[in-house]
Structure 1
């Protein structure tokens, strides 16, 4: 039978599908325009500082077509900007924030470009070194979020001589009220008089993490300088200067995010499967298909049908049936399940030592034949009656 001819999409359907693909989340549009990371852009939305075509928007998840809608932040229209990337060597005394109520110098003041950019991550005011400046909100989120685990390398000079036990404690972690602070790696580069220079690698950049760990272990940080973010190196860039990144460096950063996320997922223990075999429930194979059959209930408990399994006396426990003595069943052994024999336990042919032990004979009830010494109530009464006669 020939296939029916395909229906051609109407022009209206085509226009509708193109419109759906062009709709993107509002916070993503703001991040691409250089207003910060997606989390920062979400704050702009919830604070009521964004409007679309003159209508204020405060709901997260709002989708918009940036080509057809007019989007404004604080009354200023935005335009999609070209993505740019700069490596900056931050000096001491500069804050890594776009807004500072105290009016202190900011890292964005060091970038003399017409594009609007923001810093990826943070360095405290007393620290120096590599900062990535960009208007790419997606890459900023991937590099800064702890779940991606991108490595950051620091050169740290501390007061005092650092011992091997201190390095071990830094790797194992130090507990604070926020949780455990732990470095990915640490090594001693050199010692100068009563000072030690360390190289420290972090995956999660908590607030003043390095300074707080070393202070807890009895070492004051004299100098802290970030030297690398993933594959991006500071190199010989002068203090306070910046340079643009080429396409190859940007691609390496994106690849680093993917590789770090895969490594972080591999370090996590696998989750147990839902509906898996329970502990202590034996799995048997069926008589014909060889597929696993349902596990039998535990000893002393009724099965699904409400009947106790036949042949399971009090002397036969779970350990005797689930873990029999002797060798384990081999590939040549045949196991017949309880469904084919009518019993509650499977039978092993070809391995007599694996078969379940026979049930102990039940003790006869009182008043029946075979009772100890033949003493029953009826018998004692009859003998007493004969004596009285």
Structure 2
């Protein structure tokens, strides 16, 4: 039984994501809205296979060749939304990034999110495909947080989280949690997760009866917040990024 040869190239959504136009999911929405064309013909499906982006336009504008992948670390303050705009008019991370990055910095997309009241390390990239790979739970990239909490908790209770926990029907996988220091009923807890589900750290700690008064992400994979000042950003060195991408490929993050 013969099969047709697989066409050469990659899906247009993947190529546009890599070019930094938008995430794959957003590109699919743009295609549905008939905003993307090839040689003047509207693209009907995100399954369209292309060798490159020659002749592709978005809203009538030619797509530039992809720039080299770049990755930035940003120390997000509380009170900022991880979005390009907010219907309620609240300040976003881009409000702060305009002052934290050089003017010629490429368009950046956040890798994952930090909610309004969570601070610390937020990674941003111009490569939508890298963004997708780093957000996939199957990549198993650890994210580490420090949480200032109030309430009664023991190290034994925290160690039970290594087996995962189910809260309101949502299962959270293995969590590595350790008491750092305690003053009365106040304590700092270091928490490392690999799934990154919505508000995971807060929900798990609150389920254990703790009040979370501060939550700081200190690391995402091998990239650490270190002494990066609040509200400031820095570019990850090319060699650091290269080593990480090699690891990501081995870990299966290119699925």
TM-score by structure 2 length?
0.85
Question: Partner of 1:226: helix, strand, or coil?
Answer: strand
Q: Does 1:37 align with 2:23?
A: yes
Total equivalences in the alignment: 241
Q: 1:144 and 1:162 mapped to 2: Cα distance? A: 30
Q: State the distance in 2 between where 1:129 and 1:54 align.
A: 44
The residue aligned with 2:157 is: 166
Residue aligning to 1:86:
72
Q: Is the 8 A contact 1:183 1:200 kept in 2?
A: no
2:90 matched residue in structure 1: 104
Structure 1, unaligned runs of 5 or more: 1-19, 263-389
1:248 aligned to which of 233, 239, 242? 239
Which ranges in structure 2 are unaligned for 5 or more consecutive residues?
Answer: 1-6
Shift of 1:26: 1.1
The residue that corresponds to 2:177 in the other structure is 186
Deviation at 1:178, TM superposition (A): 4.5
Aligned partners of 2:34 and 2:22: how far apart in 1?
A: 16
Residues 218, 224 of structure 2: 8 Å contact kept? yes
Specify the SS of the correspondent of 2:17.
helix
CA drift at 1:237: 0.2
1:237 aligns with 2:217: no
Q: Which has the higher contact order (CA 8 A, sep 6+)?
A: 2
Between structures 1 and 2, the one with greater strand share:
2
How do 1:279-358 and structure 2 match up within 5 A?
Answer: none
CA distances 1:170-213 after superposition (whole Å, capped 9, x unpaired): 22333234531234311111113321101111010111011111
Question: What is the CA–CA distance in structure 1 between the aligned matches of 2:187 and 2:174, rounded to whole Å?
Answer: 17
Pair member with larger Rg = 1
How do 1:49-198 residues align onto structure 2 when only pairs under 5 Å count? Answer: 49-66=35-52, 68-72=54-58, 74-82=59-67, 83-109=69-95, 110-111=97-98, 112=101, 113-114=103-104, 115-198=106-189
How far, CA to CA, are the matches of 1:88 and 1:128 in structure 2?
A: 10
CA contact (8 A) 1:231 1:252 kept: no
Q: Which runs of 4+ in 1 moved over 6 A?
A: none
Q: Is the 8 A contact 2:74 2:233 kept in 1?
A: yes
Equivalent residue for 1:201? Answer: 192
Deviation at 1:259, TM superposition (A): 5.4
Task: String of CA shifts for 1:96-119, please: whole Å, max 9, x gaps.
Answer: 123432232222331444311100
